[in-house]
Amino acid sequence: MELKLEKLKSFEGRKGPLLFIVMDGVGFGRQDESDAVFLAKTPTLDKLLKEIPLQTKLKAHGPAVGLPSEDDMGNSEVGHNAIGAGRIFAQGAKLVNKSIETGDIFKSENWGKVIEHGKNGNTVHLMGLLSDGNVHSHINQVFALINECAKKEVTKLRLHILLDGRDVGEKTAPEYVTPLEELLAKISSEKKYDYKIASGGGRMITTMDRYNADWTIVERGWKAHVLGDARKFRSASEAIQTYYSEDPKITDQYLESFVVVDENEIPIGTIEDGDAVVFFNFRGDRAIEMSIAFEAGDEFDKFDRQRVPKVFYTGMMEYDGDLHIPKNYLVNPPSIDRPISQYLCAEGVTSFAISETQKFGHVTYFWNGNRSGYINDKLELYVEIPSDKIQFDKAPRMKADEITDRTIELLKSGKYKFGRINYPNGDMVGHCGIMEAAIESVEAVDQNLAKILPVIEELGGIAVITADHGNADEMFNVVKGKRVVKTAHTLNPVPFIIYDPACNGEYKMAGINTPGLTNIAGTLLNLLGYKNVEDYDPSLIVF
């Protein structure tokens, strides 16, 4: 269909550019000692919140962004999907849950192939993040796959588990591994099957890299899951407890890779020719690279795979809709049509998108409705600032300064009417669970806002400042009188501020009840001088 925007009669936008700024992981917390955003020195943000009338708070979690319930944290992927789409689309967790509830997932052709491989005497391997964080995966979905394998008389099954400590409590791995081991033991005993955990490791150093940031993470996963080459233990529980005892400060996301071996020190679950492999994460960013490692041919050059077993490989979902990674998947991803960038390109609006590696895909791929590449490379410029390959708490500023410098350069070039940037600091450093580093990360973002906003004023433009979800705003909870570090996202609302120095009352906030991230797209269109798209969620402003 032809996409077309209609000009507003009462407002044609400003002469300067519109800049959309995402302070990733910066929400409104309890404003107490647990809140790194509150504790940080943020004179720029404080002044905006105190003096700018054009502001509100947005929901960035649960049904407001397409997730199943109010208990489901938002994340950067669904957040940028929601912002770019302008409407609510059911997201990964909700789609998979529905497919399991209806049984559709088990009627799919690809699940049938998984079962066929298992019933032919080969092993079915399930691989992915083991927790109930509901950001990348959910343990209940894993249990459903295991039980269905048992029901369909698959006699040998192996689990390759990535330990979380990021979207859930930082040392909660036993809470997920113990019931999993109990389920596998019960099935093995009752049905005389062979169901076991074969390998694993912490998610930040094993398997789950993203955006080509550090392929050694994938290589460690390949060695553990496929080759059986990692530190040896007799069980996953033994591995976790050993790592805990060796380094009491270590958290689950950084636990070393391990393999489970038999009494002869032989790995019990290497992946071999003829097996089936299911990557059970529903979120794509940290599943793509391992999928490539399994599916790529001789052209693969990221690391030496040593051997590439001929397996039937499938993802829980399609992780990249344009590149079709992986080739096989069990549940169709959300089909997000007509994101805001398609309308802007159709109107000839020039734009840029900037972030560092860790969030580059969010201001491009996820913003564009899960599409890789440019919509129109003659109108758009995408800039990726390479992220450092270190733990983010070691350098809390990350690449905020570089993002700002490049943004100012592009704003001053006069070539672009619209820009969008993401400062990852509050999210990526917040995940580390270290208060001092989180405070410094939020301060870095505030300092960079102080650099950008005068440029916006100088150019006669507008800046819209918001976040995709909370994180640094809640660094710990108090449970039974003890502080428990919180590394996961929060359920807190996020700020939405329109910085428009030239505004003289042409528009005001619309006063929408419980506004959310999907209301942003229509607002951006209005600020550029266009009417909102008819079926987009309402704009946050009225004229």
User: For residue 466, which of 21, 142, 116, 13 has the smallest C-alpha distance?
Assistant: 21
Residue 21 and residue 478 in contact, taking contact as beta carbons nearer than 8 Å: no
Among residues 10, 34, 76, 237, which one is catalytic? Answer: 76
Residue 312 DSSP code: E
Residue 425 and residue 396 in contact, taking contact as beta carbons nearer than 8 Å: yes
Residue 291 falls in the annotated catalytic set: no
Name every residue whose Cβ is closer than 8 Å to that of residue 377 and which is 6 or more positions away in sequence: none
* Helix ranges (DSSP H) in 164-311: 173-191, 215-222, 236-246, 288-295
Q: Which two tokens stand for residue 356?
A: 């560092």
Strand duo 351-356 + 508-509: pairing: unpaired
Q: Which two tokens stand for residue 394?
A: 């070691």
Alpha carbons 361 and 81: distance in angstroms, whole number: 11
> What's at 237, amino acid-wise?
S
User: For residue 524, which of 498, 494, 505, 506 has the smallest C-alpha distance?
Assistant: 498
| 13 Ramachandran zone, left/alpha/beta (phi>0; psi -120 to 50) | left
Beta-bridge mates of residue 419: 19, 352
Residue 495 and residue 509 in contact, taking contact as beta carbons nearer than 8 Å: no
Beta-bridge mates of residue 356: 385
Q: Is 157 exposed, middle or buried (0-12, 13-18, 19+ CB in 10 A)?
A: buried
User: For residue 42, which of 464, 389, 385, 448 has the smallest C-alpha distance?
Assistant: 448
User: For residue 112, which of 160, 152, 170 has the smallest C-alpha distance?
Assistant: 152
Residue 182 DSSP code: H
Residue 320 and residue 288 in contact, taking contact as beta carbons nearer than 8 Å: yes
Alpha carbons 490 and 426: distance in angstroms, whole number: 12
Residue 496 and residue 524 in contact, taking contact as beta carbons nearer than 8 Å: no
Helix and strand tally (H, E) in the chain?
17, 19
Beta-bridge mates of residue 350: none
Q: Which residues are part of the catalytic machinery?
A: 76
